[in-house]
Amino acid sequence: MGATLLTKEAVLNGLAVERLAIMSSLSEERLRRSLPALSWSHPYPPYLPANIPSVYMSAAKAPSGVICRGCTTRRGITADVRAHLALPDIVCLQHRVWQSPAPCDVSAAPEIDRAQHTLRRIRRLHGNRGMSLGVRDARWIIAAWTSNVCRESELTDRWHSRRAVLGLVPWHRSDDLSARIVTHPEVAILAAALAPNYTDPTYFTRTGFQLRRFSAYLRASLDLNPIPHSMNDPIRAFVRIVQSNRARWRDPKSVMITETATPRCT
């Protein structure tokens, strides 16, 4: 129950968004902040005509979260309020509550607050698409570090400690929501380093770029010891994949941050 606010999600072309803004007396910017599907719609979806305002209804993909109860109670609202939340807004910074899919107190881990500020900065600099692609690929690197082949004992110990401090259930799956919470600070650090790649396709192939130094910088940012070679280094593996121009790493349709309301591009 409550997985989504509605069973259907509207996809609008650019002219329809303009018409909706006029009819609602709201700016397009405000509409796109309020309705996630608008932010992720292409100006002219291929299955909608480009010359007239058009809308297409599809099954809702974006889950919703319960808004921080401290915020709603302060406004005299006693019932749970569900809303679509972008990843940079998933934590209520006033009450330090992770809001999706159900409130989780993260006040014991202040690094999660810092991660939220990092994600908001990424969104300002690189937009929703750059931020979400960065998070997706950062999680790919994190997942590699949880495998037996590339396991980083320092990170594993850190995540177990953070999990215990937050009172979360024992780790059992890398894509579990609790795993997303405990790895969130590291994901934000990685996403900040990866995000420029999505606005500048030559970022990892530009003159002067040194993969070894890039990996060393990121490992230092994550408080990890340097490694003398590139074997079993997911950071270098990811950059090499991008440098080889494998298309799926740039495909925004594969972006789906499941515990937030970041829908796929349509």
pLDDT per residue over 128-180, tens digit each?
A: 888 888 998 999 899 888 876 678 888 989 999 999 999 988 765 656 788 88
144's tokens: 């590699």
Where do the structural domains in the chain lie, given as residue ranges? 8-59, 65-98, 108-254
Spell out, as residue ranges, where the chain has pLDDT lower than 50: 1-5, 41, 247-249, 251-266
**Percentage of the chain with pLDDT > 90?**
27
The strand pairing partners of 57, in sequence order, are 10
194-204 pLDDT, tens digit per residue, is 999 888 888 99
pLDDT at residue 130 in the model = 87
CA atoms of 130 and 144, how far apart (whole Å): 21
126's tokens: 């690189």
